[in-house]
Amino acid sequence: MLNTERIVKQALVSTLHFSDIASINNHHRLREDLQLDSMSSLMFLMKLEESIEGFFVDPETLDMKDLETVSSVMHYV
């Protein structure tokens, strides 16, 4: 597992209170499959910023397609 993949999945596990990252796959849709709503999305993005040195979410470049699947988040990061 790539480091970025592990960080993204760990942030999701922490945000959604899942038991482990094995329950999340790269094709899961954040809203439909993982039930990420607007508040949990914000918490998730903040966890990513805390976990990745030098990374910050730029609202100017963030598009809804970047938050469709676990894989699309990894690509954005």
Alpha-helical regions (H) of 1-77: 3-16, 38-51, 70-76
At residue 32 the predicted structure's pLDDT band, cuts being 50, 70 and 90, is very high
Please report, as a single letter, which amino acid is at residue 20: D
Tokens of 17: 């209170």
pLDDT at 28: 97
pLDDT at 47: 96
pTM here is: 0.90
At residue 24 the predicted structure's pLDDT band, cuts being 50, 70 and 90, is very high
pLDDT at 1: 62
- Between CA 77 and CA 52 the distance in angstroms is 9
Of 54, 64, 71, 65, the residue nearest 12 (C-alpha): 71
